[in-house]
Structure 1
Amino acid sequence: MAYRITADDCIACGACEGGCPVSCITEKEDGKRVIDESACIDCGACADACPVSCIHQA
């Protein structure tokens, strides 16, 4: 089960992107991040790195 970012709660800080060991998080045009669920390895590092807890398992 992959992780997802709740876009409304994302503050576009990029902490999750830096915490991802497989680089499956990218920045959208608005600065917020999105997770490529097909590349996500379900490690939870992004959720641990997020300061606003907007990342959850799908």
Structure 2
Amino acid sequence: MALIITDECINCDVCEPECPNGAISQGDATYVIDPALCTECVGHYETSQCVEVCPVDCIIKDPNHQESEEELRAKFERITAGS
């Protein structure tokens, strides 16, 4: 399941550089996560790094993008295949 940043985001800028897939970017009002690039850090880390550093706990699982651990790992492998 990809992650999503809620409207509680305070734009503190700490999550964006933590994302190993470049899935986080500045949106119109708050940061946003591209579900096509979000693997919840599967393949990189044991935990989602953006969630770990968020001071207001506004990064949650996106119910509109449900994916299993296997699907997230396959996405990680596709994203990093050219690296």
- TM tier relative to shorter chain: 0.7 to 0.9
Question: Does 1 or 2 have the higher relative contact order (CA < 8 Å, sep 6+)?
Answer: 1
- Separation of aligned partners in 1, 2:53 and 2:16: 9
Report which of the two has the higher share of strand: 1
2:35 counterpart of 1:37: yes
Please name the residue that 2:80 is paired with. none
More helix by percentage: 2
Structure 2 gaps of 5+ residues are 42-47, 63-83
Structure ID, larger Rg? 2
Which structure 2 residues correspond to residues 40-55 of structure 1 after superposition, within 5 A? 40-43=38-41, 44-55=48-59
How far residue 28 of structure 1 moved from its aligned partner, in angstroms, is 1.6
Unaligned runs of 5+ in 1: none
- Matched pairs, number: 56
- List structure 1 runs of 4+ shifted beyond 3 angstroms: none
RMSD: 1.0
Question: Is 1:15 the equivalent of 2:14?
Answer: yes
TM-score between the two structures when normalised by the length of structure 2 = 0.62
